[in-house]
Amino acid sequence: MCAGKGTKTILMSNLLKGEGTITAYDKIKERLGVLKSRVKELKLKNINFDMKNKDQFDLILCDVPCSGTGTWRRRPENMIWFKNEELEKLKFVQNNILLNAAKLCKIGGKIVYITCSVLYDENEFQIKSFLNNFKNFDVINFREDIKKYIKKELFKYDKYGLTLSPDVLNTDGYFISMLKKTA
């Protein structure tokens, strides 16, 4: 969901070596059009754009629209333009994306929720609210899995997910949460 122009979608296709099936969706048709052109140009056979029935997906990646506060280190001017009203609209959109993902996720399937925000309201709050409404989902603790690849404790991990902080990593800030549908 929120496939945009498809950089992560194409990366997933490459990681899967053309196996499996990836369904890409974005509400903004122009962005999806760019991805469709890229898929055709790259001759990727395992990416489609056919959103079918609910309860069908093993994994749903929600790269949700957000405030982008995690990028303010390299785009400080965005602080000037950002308004609280915009944050409220984004929170509503993020919540709806999670609700739609829940409908598409099959039992035993997973939802990965990602933002390039470091704000509690867009991250932990969204997951906490989602879990209050969907008792059939649990947070997956992937802290130990990450430690296999990152030796130092370079991130903040709480019960709702992982926050990568620009001040520690000298990169953009991100939040990642993984949820599993249990019933």
Catalytic residues: 116
Cβ neighbourhood burial of 41 (10 Å; 0-12, 13-18, 19+): exposed
Q: Which residues of 66-89 are buried (b: 16+ CB within 10 A; e: fewer)?
A: bbbbbbbeeeeeeeeeeeeeebee
Q: Determine contact, residues 64/121, Cβ cutoff 8 Å.
A: no
Write out the H or E segment, with its range, that includes residue 85. helix 84-104
